[in-house]
Amino acid sequence: MDIKYGYITSEDRFFFVLSYIDVYDRQIVGYHIGLTCEARHAVEAFRAALWKRQILQSGAPMLVIRSDNGPQFVSHLFESECERWNFLTSVYRPRARI
């Protein structure tokens, strides 16, 4: 998952696009577009992605949720949602120098 943003010139403000991408088939399975992007938006889009892929059924495989360390993804709200469904989280450092 990741967040990108764009600029609305006529309104002199930014908008945000949060996307959940399935690394297996590269499809966007959940997203949020709005003038704000908070942890609650990340959780809502996460639930929509799980519902779309029918992950919440019994016998679903273990998922690893990969993100950067943005405040939405390291928040208590998002972490508790991942714990609720017993998913692992993997945080990477964007633009890390190797």
* Residue pLDDT, tens place only, 44-55: 999 999 888 887
Q: What percent of the chain has pLDDT over 90?
A: 48
| Average pLDDT of the residues in 16-21 | 95
CA gap 69, 92 in Å, rounded? 7
CA distances 79 to 75, 76, 83, Å, are 6, 5, 6
Query: Domain 2-91 carries which CATH code?
Result: 3.30.420.10
CA gap 54, 82 in Å, rounded? 16
Between 25 and 56, the higher pLDDT residue: 25
The predicted structure's pLDDT at residue 59: 58
